[in-house]
Amino acid sequence: MKELLSEDEIQAGVERLAGRLRADFEDRPLTIVGVLTGSLILLADLIRRLDNPLRVALIRASRGRAENRSRTALVIDDTLLPNLAGRDVLVVDDIFDTGHTLVEVVAQLAKHGPKSIRSAVLLRKTGRSDVAIEPDYIVFDIPDEFVVGYGLDYVDRFRNLPYVAALEPTDLTKD
């Protein structure tokens, strides 16, 4: 694998994101909703840098694989959410690829009646989006490669790396 973003680069990017959020939300209460599981490390690093009154929540958005290896429909579990009515909500996710997950998560959160919904992602793959929206906050743009580390995994491996790396084709197995 090849390193794309070092630990220091990521931490500086998270600090830039926190600065933008502090400026945009000032001292208003904020509900941050992390998309499980990839956003957990970003979520933890981000909330430690914010001074706002914070409510932290989690939502699970996952796709399985059918026997023919095609992706199945997105399943969203929002049972861990607190009351979002009238709240400013920030969705935090690890990566914006095609954008379908973010679109569906935002639509699900909108059903809970928040005052506003914004989104932040650590990574946006260039040239992959096929939806009409973009995240409100993007920490890094990356090339269209399979990436791991800093919360992103491949077959339950590499999520714990403190940096982001692109897997080489030889690193990918059929498992």
Q: What are phi and psi of 83, to 5 degrees?
A: -65, 120
| Catalytic residue numbers, as ranges | 97
pTM of the model: 0.92
Dihedral in degrees, nearest 10, Cα atoms 146, 150, 156, 158: 80
Sheet order of strands, 137-142 included: 75-77, 54-62, 30-36, 88-96, 116-125, 137-142
CA distance 106 to 113: 11
Number of neighbouring beta carbons within 10 Å of residue 134: 14
At 80-116, the pLDDT tens digits run: 999 999 999 999 999 999 999 999 999 999 999 999 9
2-145 in CATH: which number? 3.40.50.2020
Q: Is the pLDDT of residue 18 over 90?
A: yes
Confidence of residue 119 (pLDDT cuts 50, 70, 90): very high
Q: Quick one: average pLDDT of 122-148?
A: 95
